Amino acid sequence: MTRSNVRPAADQVRALRDGLRRLVVEHGALDEACRPCGAPLSLPHAHALLELRAASGPLRVSALAQRLRIDRTNVSRLCARLERLGELERTADPADGRARALALTPRGRARAAEVDRASVAHVGRLAAALGPDLPRVLDALERLRAAMSEARATREETA
């Protein structure tokens, strides 16, 4: 995506901000009792399980932090919680003994599979409700994701 020199009007910017806010709220991301992942887990917990499940092998904390776009310190705390729950194991990274490799335990793999099934069912209902508009929505979401990525990169460049 390329940066545009055209600045949107303030009311358009507010409309986008409010639309994103309403989307997050409607999705249930803020509701502790009703998570869109289908389990009473925080979103970082559910997303960490899915990222670790999708990885081709163990990940370092830094790699998981990058995938989740969360500060490494917060990911370390999250991993400690997952380890206490028996869902994650940390071992010495074979490539660098000082680093720790993260991998799901059998319990973690089962929980990740549960989250995957529940979230696919939830999103499947959304996809069905969108019907023939689904391809356009997917395109718009990808454009929004790319814009967010570009904005993050710009923010990090100027920080």
Give the dihedral sign, CA 100/105/109/111. Answer: negative
pTM of the complete model: 0.81
**77-91 pLDDT, tens digit each:** 999 999 999 999 999
Per-residue pLDDT at 3: 61
The first and second tokens of residue 129, run together, are 């409700």
Residue span of the structural domain in which 91 resides: 26-158
Q: For residue 147, which of 48, 13, 51 has the smallest C-alpha distance?
A: 13
Per-residue pLDDT at 136: 97
For residue 13, being part of any structural domain is answered with no
For residue 75, being part of any structural domain is answered with yes
For residue 2, being part of any structural domain is answered with no
Per-residue pLDDT at 32: 67
For residue 19, being part of any structural domain is answered with no
What CATH number should be reported for the domain holding residue 91? 1.10.10.10
Per-residue pLDDT at 31: 74
- Segments of the chain with pLDDT less than 70: 1-4, 32-38
User: How many folded domains does the chain comprise?
Assistant: 1
